[in-house]
């Protein structure tokens, strides 16, 4: 049963050869069958902002709710919250709520006394007790039954647990970080999740974007996995070709970071001398790009490059940013069409009158 519990945490934050902050799981190679992301990088502007927000909220004891698709790195973000908190020397426990049957989940979380139920031969503390003095990460908290949700709410309010089969409360000091890949607000409306628990969890919310919405993280992560698996395979050299890089940037990544990791691992296995090309990637055609689309002049690649350039401008905005961008578009199109107004208007999809107005506004016509 995959509960993926890690009792301790050490500092696994480092930088790859492109100097982006990188976080990995302890012993990441032991999680080969997991659907989790084993690494996350903070290179994309949205990821940099997320890391800054984590550093602001982590020192408090506020409950944190991480929202994101499977494979986006929710546990890694939870570990980062723990690392920057006042509890960093305490235990970090990660538990997958969806891994337990409804009959066992309360025993796992809250513990039980000897004889509390058939098979309870010895008393045992639950994961809340194990996380005492540290952080408890409950992944897929939306999968918990309503009866368990009530008890978790009480634990958070009272900071004490009562084992199954006991009446004596046990005081605990635990910070809870919860995660979900479902919309809990919709689950509340549908009657599948308690509204009071939702608001208790949602003190500090971290919205972890899917990989396709943080393209600046794709290549740094790909290079990290390339280096990791290249060394494991004892390759003398390993690299990504330009067409492979463009294909990675143009792919939708429905499986997020975990899918990227698997794609790079497989690509290295089938590549020639560690040089990964487009043909080695074997991307799902329903979500990826064709060889023609991986061409440097392709529309998808050009738009992605434009998005990255705009994201960089947004990080250091200047006055009248919209006018600056519009002027750049008008000027470069006008130059591309060799100052032909008809062709420029056709290229941009605007009338000649609008184009002339813009050219005069920006000083390219008298």
Which has more confidence, 51 or 5?
Answer: 51
What single DSSP character describes residue 253? -
Per-residue DSSP letters for 3-45?
----S-----EEE-TT--EEEE-SSGGGGTT-SS-SEEE--SH
E-strand ranges in 203-348 read: 204-207, 239-240, 275-276
Q: What is the pLDDT of residues 200-231, one digit of tens each?
A: 999 999 999 999 999 999 999 999 999 999 99
pLDDT, residue 322, reads 86
Q: Are the CB atoms for 253 and 260 separated by under 8 Å?
A: yes
pLDDT, residue 364, reads 86
Q: What is the pLDDT of residues 343-365, one digit of tens each?
A: 898 889 888 888 888 898 888 88
147 phi and psi, to 5 degrees?
-65, -35
- Average pLDDT (323-332) is 88
- Percentage of residues in the chain having pLDDT higher than 90: 53
pLDDT, residue 33, reads 43
Q: Are the CB atoms for 32 and 2 separated by under 8 Å?
A: no
- Average pLDDT (270-292) is 81
CA distance 7 to 56: 25
**Hey, what domains does the chain have and what are their CATH numbers?**
13-209 (3.40.50.300), 212-281 (1.10.8.60), 318-361 (1.10.10)
- Average pLDDT (249-272) is 93
Output the average pLDDT for the chain: 85
Which has more confidence, 21 or 329?
Answer: 329
pLDDT, residue 5, reads 42
- Average pLDDT (152-156) is 95
- Average pLDDT (315-322) is 75
- Output the six-digit token pair for 334: 């006008």
Q: Could you tell me the pLDDT band of residue 306, with boundaries at 50, 70 and 90?
A: confident
- Average pLDDT (113-122) is 81
pLDDT, residue 345, reads 87
Q: Could you tell me the pLDDT band of residue 293, with boundaries at 50, 70 and 90?
A: low
pLDDT, residue 21, reads 78
Q: What is the pLDDT of residues 6-51, one digit of tens each?
A: 433 333 433 333 456 787 877 655 544 455 678 899 999 999 999 9
């Amino acid at each position: 049963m995959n509960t993926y519990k890690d009792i301790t945490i050490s500092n696994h934050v480092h930088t790859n050869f492109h100097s982006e902050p990188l976080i990995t799981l302890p012993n990441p190679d032991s999680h080969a069958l997991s659907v989790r992301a084993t690494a996350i990088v903070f290179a994309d502007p949205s990821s940099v902002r997320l890391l800054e927000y984590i550093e602001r909220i982590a020192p408090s004891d506020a409950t944190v709710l991480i929202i994101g698709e499977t494979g986006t790195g929710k546990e890694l973000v939870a570990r980062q919250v723990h690392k920057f908190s006042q509890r960093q020397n305490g235990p970090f426990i990660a538990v997958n709520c969806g891994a337990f049957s409804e009959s066992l989940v309360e025993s796992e979380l809250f513990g039980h006394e000897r004889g509390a139920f058939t098979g309870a031969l010895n008393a045992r503390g639950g994961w809340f007790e194990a996380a005492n003095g540290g952080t408890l990460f409950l992944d897929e908290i939306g999968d918990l039954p309503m009866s368990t949700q009530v008890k978790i709410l009480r634990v958070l309010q009272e900071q004490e647990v009562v084992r199954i089969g006991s009446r004596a409360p046990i005081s605990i000091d635990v910070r809870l970080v919860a995660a979900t890949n479902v919309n809990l607000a919709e689950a509340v409306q549908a009657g599948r999740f308690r509204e009071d628990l939702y608001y208790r969890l949602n003190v500090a919310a971290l919205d972890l974007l899917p990989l396709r919405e943080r393209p600046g993280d794709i290549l740094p992560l790909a290079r990290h996995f390339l280096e990791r698996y290249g060394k494991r395979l004892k390759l003398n050299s390993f690299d990504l070709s330009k067409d492979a890089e463009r294909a990675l940037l143009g792919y939708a990544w429905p499986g997020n970071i975990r899918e990227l990791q698997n794609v790079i691992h497989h690509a290295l296995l089938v590549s020639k001398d560690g040089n990964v090309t487009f043909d080695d990637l074997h991307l799902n055609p329903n979500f990826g790009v064709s060889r023609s689309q991986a061409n440097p002049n392709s529309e998808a690649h050009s738009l992605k490059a434009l998005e990255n350039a705009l994201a960089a401008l947004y990080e250091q905005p200047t006055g009248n940013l919209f006018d600056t961008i519009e002027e750049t578009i008008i000027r470069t199109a006008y130059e591309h069409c060799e100052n032909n107004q008809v062709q420029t208007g056709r290229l941009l999809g605007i009338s000649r009158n609008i184009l002339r107005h813009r050219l005069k506004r920006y000083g390219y016509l008298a």
